Chains A and B, each alone.
Chain A
Amino acid sequence: GAGVSQSPSNKVTEKGKDVELRCDPISGHTALYWYRQSLGQGLEFLIYFQGNSAPDKSGLPSDRFSAERTGGSVSTLTIQRTQQEDSAVYLCASRRFWEGNTGELFFGEGSRLTVL
């Protein structure tokens, strides 16, 4: 597709269940970011992938959160044993790097997670 695609757009789950959120970045974008946006809050950095480098996981709030990026393309953010405080919009973004330059960040429309 032409833009960053995220699925599901909405997810309602029960406390304690695991959820997977998917991000399909723009083709050719080597950098991929996950952010969390709680109601009325700014963006909280979660994790960053760049090419074949080790991901920057410094923003993951707990070991219940993990993410992977397969084949340098699609990424999955997994939240295990969800808690009510995990309720938020999870945004994915991608951009490309070339010859030391960086392009603009393109965002998906987000996955809204509600934990009951």
Chain B
Amino acid sequence: AQSVTQLDSHVSVSEGTPVLLRCNYSSSYSPSLFWYVQHPNKGLQLLLKYTSAATLVKGINGFEAEFKKSETSFHLTKPSAHMSDAAEYFCVGENYGGSQGNLIFGKGTKLSVKP
């Protein structure tokens, strides 16, 4: 991916409602894409990754993401938010042969979950 755009800097949902975190990418080829989660004062942890196998990717903690080439999107979803999902989420693209160690990070989306 040559660029990765997370469309929302902050998303707020109520506990038990669906979560949608949006990510768009630009690439001249089919990229590898990842979602990472960062809980407060922690490092980043891989949620899931897409590497040109199945377009619907299931990750940890009930999250999943669908690669849609026609829309150049890789949105992260979860059917029912839990309080423990409150964290920052980063969409990351593989930039084969590019700089920055071949990885392009989105700017992050902070997810708040209200009781």
Contact = CB atoms under 8 A, between A and B. Distances in A.
A91 interface: yes
Interface string B69-113: 000000000000000000000101010000111110111100000
Contacts of B7: none
Given A43-B90, A102-B94, A59 B100 contact: yes
Q: How large is the interface on B (under 10, 10 to 19, 20 to 34, 35 or more residues)?
A: 20 to 34
Contacts of A48: 100-101
A65 to B, nearest CB: 15
A107 B101 contact: no
Interface in A1-25: 4
Contacts of B36: 105, 107
Interface in B42-76: 42-46, 49
Interface in A69-116: 91, 93, 102, 104-110
Contacts of B102: 102
B26 interface: no
A102 B100 contact: no
A107 B90 contact: no
Nearest to A49: B101
Contacts of A109: 41-43
Given A42-B90, A58-B100, A93 B106 contact: no
Given A102-B32, A107-B45, A56 B101 contact: yes
A93 B44 contact: yes
B25 interface: no
A104 B42 CA distance: 17
B105 A42 contact: yes
A11 to B, nearest CB: 15
